[in-house]
Amino acid sequence: MEHIVLSYEERVATIELNRPNALNALNEQMLAELLQALKEVEKSEADIVVIRGRGKGFCAGGDIKTMLQSTNEHSFIEVMETIKQIALTLYQLPKLTISYVHGAAAGLGFSLALACDHVIANEQARVAMNFIGIGLIPDGGGHFFLKRKIGEVKSKQVIWEGKVMSAQEAYEVGLIDEIGDEQTIQQKVNEWLAKPIVAMIATKQLYAHLSEEQLLKTLQMETAYQAEMRQTEDHAEGIRAFLEKRRPHFRGK
């Protein structure tokens, strides 16, 4: 794998997003490799999985350049199917999962972080569910994972505002579970390893089984609505504004 680094240390697996020059933005190859890594971890003896990014940030979201190059509807459906499988696999993974957010976690990257059982962010982290800025909606199960953590009303506010939040702001809202550093990750790992982790995983799987239909339906609806949003004038304007580094002028069309 080129853009994903998978490593093991005793009972802990670490998945590192490895496109640091692009702030770990997720392109088609990286998404496919991430799914492959999750499938490998699923079969491993690891009990805990840590997901993190290399370089200056966790993940800037989906790769805008890839989005611009791919106008083919079949390619879009394939990418969304991979994203769906990543979200389902990570949520149902029979391991305990930690995401460590440093620097930026935006859009699809933030959905990925929220899919984990425990979200740790360092003090420099900045997070945003900022699809609204380019006239799109959250994907990767973003609607499901937001609602799971902060409820429907607050989720809509976060999505519609698209605000970039500091680690402290995200913690106060309830989007992240802990503010810390490398030592904090190790402390959480050690805490979990000292517990009857088989019982903890059983509880995770119980909740996952209860909610899997809702997550699957959410992912399917995200794909359908995202396809519609990609055809809007507001999305085209959002992309133009992003490339021209200016504020977009949306018209609700």
pLDDT digit string, tens, across residues 26-37: 999 999 999 999
Is the pLDDT at 68 greater than 90? The verdict is no
For tokens 């620097």, what's the residue? 103
pTM: 0.94
Q: Give the residue extent of every domain in the chain.
A: 4-181
β pairing state of 104-106 and 118-121: unpaired
Res 66: pLDDT: 67
| 188-203 average pLDDT score | 98
Q: Identify the helix (H) or strand (E) that includes residue 83.
A: helix 73-92
Is the pLDDT at 73 greater than 80? The verdict is no
CA-only gyration radius of the chain, Å:
17
Collapsed DSSP state (helix, strand, coil) of residue 158: helix
- Other beta carbons within 10 Å of 216: 16
* CB-CB contact of 76 with 227 (8 Å): yes
Q: Identify the helix (H) or strand (E) that includes residue 52.
A: strand 48-53
Going by pLDDT thresholds of 50, 70 and 90, the confidence category of residue 57 is very high
Joined tokens for residue 196 = 């009857």
CATH 3.20.80.10 corresponds to the domain 4-181: no
| 77-84 average pLDDT score | 94
In 3D, which of 107, 124, 184, 115 has the Cα closest to residue 144? 115
Task: Report the DSSP beta bridge partners of residue 12.
Answer: 9, 48
- Other beta carbons within 10 Å of 213: 9
Res 62: pLDDT: 87
Res 82: pLDDT: 96
Please state, rounded to an integer, the average pLDDT across all residues of the chain: 94
For tokens 């517990």, what's the residue? 195
Joined tokens for residue 210 = 């209860």
Joined tokens for residue 106 = 């935006």
Going by pLDDT thresholds of 50, 70 and 90, the confidence category of residue 69 is low
Res 76: pLDDT: 87
Res 75: pLDDT: 85
Task: Report the DSSP beta bridge partners of residue 99.
Answer: 51, 119
In 3D, which of 30, 160, 144, 12 has the Cα closest to residue 87? 144
* CB-CB contact of 104 with 57 (8 Å): yes
Cα angle 14-19-21, degrees, rounded to a multiple of 5: 135
Res 169: pLDDT: 97
Going by pLDDT thresholds of 50, 70 and 90, the confidence category of residue 72 is low
Is the pLDDT at 180 greater than 70? The verdict is yes
- Cβ neighbors of 25 (< 8 A, separation 6 or more) are 19, 59, 60, 61, 62, 63, 64, 109
Give the CA dihedral 223, 224, 225, 228, nearest 10 degrees: 110
Backbone phi and psi for residue 21, each to the nearest 5 degrees, phi listed first: -70, -15
